[in-house]
Amino acid sequence: MVEFTFLALLLMVPLVYFVITVGQIQGGSFAVVGAADQAVKVYVAQPDASSAQAAAERAVALALSDFGHQPDRASMVTACSPADCQAPGTTVTVTVSLSVPLPFIPFGEGLSATEVQASASQLVGRFR
């Protein structure tokens, strides 16, 4: 009985921690996909570039916080092809990267399980 309890703890604790970590990574993946999708949709709906960038950053922060991730662990990059992001027919691409922290590590400020990234693209329409 003692050997079973000792081996069960020795084997089950790392296995449970691994499953929780994989769940955190999967949740981070869903979060960046949703954040990139919403950010690009908000970006192309704005009338000028400065308000579009601010609205996209707010959308990323809101989407990440909905999934329980801290927005300060994320970064957002916006790319436009051609260079004028507000011109009709322009393809706007938003890329969101998130550093997923290790679960249950309160002292590991710089420690992360991995970094997940997602991109979404949207065309700027002629009519707004």
Q: What is the pLDDT of residue 44?
A: 93
- Indicate the range of 24-38, 53-67, 108-122 predicted with least confidence: 108-122
Task: Give 29-68 as a 3 state SS string.
Answer: HHHHHHHHHHHHHHHHHCCCHHHHHHHHHHHHHHHHHHCC
Q: What is the pLDDT of residue 42?
A: 95
Q: What is the pLDDT of residue 54?
A: 95
On the question of pLDDT at 104 being above 90, the answer is: no
Q: 35-66: per-residue pLDDT in tens?
A: 999 999 999 999 888 999 999 999 999 999 99
